[in-house]
Amino acid sequence: MAEFVRHRIPFAGRRAVTAPATCAQRHIWNLMQEQLPDAAFYDVCYWVALPGRGTAQDLLDAFAELLGRHESLRTGFHRDEDGFLVQQVVDADEFEAEVWALAAHDDPDGVRQAWERRMRHTPFDPARAPLIRFMVTVVDGAPVLAAFCVSHLAVDLTSVRMLADEMTRLHDARAAGRPLPPAVPARQPVEQARLEYSPRGRALQARARAYWCRQLDSAPTTLFPDRGGPAGPVRYSAGMSSRAVALAVPVLARRWRVSTSVVLLTVVAQLLGRRAGVSSCTLRLLTANRSDPDVRGTVANLHSEVPVTIGLEGDRDEDVARGALAACTTAYANGLYDPDDVARLIASARGPGAPVDLSYCFNDVREEQALPDAAEDGDPVSDGGLRAAMADTVVAPDEFEEGETFFIVIDDEVPGWIRMVLNADHRALPPSEVHSFLYDIERLLVEYAESAGEEPDPAAAVGITGGTTPANT
């Protein structure tokens, strides 16, 4: 039977410092306050499999090294006497880690899943750093799996992936007796706050404010008129796993000369627009705000959500997609904004007799990947691969939950497949229509990929894989 020992491990960083919270930290703080009393809603769990080398102590040492390197992991938050949110970095303290000893018949994944369920019901105190906990499972004395649970105040999804990679590299070095790989130079959240309060930062926020005003002026009042139903929001989620989508998307990305994410965003916007009978569709994109080289290696919460309006009246679907690419480029250039000011703008914006509803979110959490070479993989259109792949599609209920009218997440954790999870309010999309919306995405992508049209000149397609991609949180 699996048993665990809970450890309190000391860590040490280079400095203790207090500073104003960043825009991204304030944004997540506000979302967490809205979610209370379920404060653990914005905690993130992540895990990695290990090759069974080294010891549990090697991993505990790696965990301590992570906290020493990344100030966001040893930061607490509180409001000062004037009511402003501040971040307080501690230089030394202890963190919690559980070491699970497993017998040969125990299931490491089952142990990890039970730990995650417990963590989701064990909220952090945001005022007390560190806002991260760890666990490791050990078989015959060697670690086979490591996991962590961390507050969204401290990280975004990009950071979570970087943490997992760095944790693995630190453990490998420790287990092999090699020097630890150096930390990647990156801006810390305290310096990010200083930038945001500088003249440059204030100018960027003023530009973003003007962008939000333009978006709110042009956004449709709602894409889903309330058709009645239960009093109060009741939501349903379904997930689609599709090989056909994974095959069709790169075909269209080459043909339309946009990123694969823009292909998916275009089709989602078209379907929403057709349902609402509108000529444009405004959604919120979740972005990690990492275009600045100084923050590409930053482990912190840099998350924000930017509105984008997709015009749907192009003569060709390619024109709509190219317009979506341009609109996304502009949206991401305005990702740094004051969340409290924007909340006031949204609350005061009004459409014809009603507030503007921006409760439609698109979140592509796939890691950036180069488009596959058609010469290597064959042509799924000409060989009938798309229609054949549709027979393998699976749609089923999912546990994913968000507090929006419409929230779709795109992932590709299983090679060769794309998974789309859609969470929607019953009053907008009842469960049966959530399923049909996912099938419509697949159907439309396949129809577009199969439609006649010349492939773009290869020289003109150079660089399309580096196009603007709806980034993740």
Rounded Cα–Cα distance for residues 254 and 449 (Å): 10
How much is the pLDDT for 223?
85
How much is the pLDDT for 314?
81
Domain ranges of the chain: 3-193, 199-466
Which amino acid belongs to residue 310?
I
Domains 3-193 and 199-466 share a fold: yes
409: left (phi over 0), alpha (psi -120 to 50) or beta: beta
In the chain, what's the furthest Cα-to-Cα distance?
Answer: 68
Q: pTM of the full predicted structure?
A: 0.88
pLDDT tens across the length of the chain (473 residues):
688 999 999 999 999 999 999 999 999 999 999 887 887 889 999 999 998 889 999 999 999 999 999 999 999 999 999 999 999 999 999 999 999 999 878 888 899 999 999 998 899 999 999 999 999 999 988 999 999 999 999 999 999 999 999 999 999 999 999 999 999 999 999 999 999 999 999 999 999 999 999 999 888 888 887 666 665 668 899 999 999 999 999 999 999 999 999 999 999 999 999 998 999 999 999 988 888 999 999 999 999 999 999 999 988 999 999 999 999 999 999 999 999 999 999 888 865 556 678 889 999 999 865 555 554 556 788 778 899 999 999 999 998 888 889 999 999 999 999 999 999 998 889 999 999 999 999 999 999 999 854 444 333 333 333 344 445 55
- Helical residues (DSSP H) of 177-259, grouped into ranges: 189-196, 199-218, 243-256
- Measured CA to CA in angstroms, residue 419 lies from 389, 393, 439, 445 at distances of 14, 10, 12, 14
The secondary structure of 134-161 as a DSSP string is EEEEEETTEEEEEEEEEETTT--HHHHH
Rounded Cα–Cα distance for residues 342 and 324 (Å): 23
Tell the residue number behind the tokens 């005061």, with chain if given. 348
Count the neighbouring beta carbons within 10 Å of the beta carbon of residue 312. 19
How much is the pLDDT for 343?
92
State the pairing for strand pair 280-287/360-364: parallel
Tell the residue number behind the tokens 């404060």, with chain if given. 39
Write the class of the CATH domain 199-466: alpha beta
Tell the residue number behind the tokens 């799924």, with chain if given. 380
Is 198 in a helix, a strand, or coil? coil
Q: If we measure between CA atoms, which residue out of 299, 50, 297, 296 comes closest to residue 168? A: 50
Contact 116, 149 (CB under 8 A): yes
How much is the pLDDT for 353?
55
Domain 3-193 architecture: 2-Layer Sandwich (3.30)
Tell the residue number behind the tokens 């740094």, with chain if given. 336
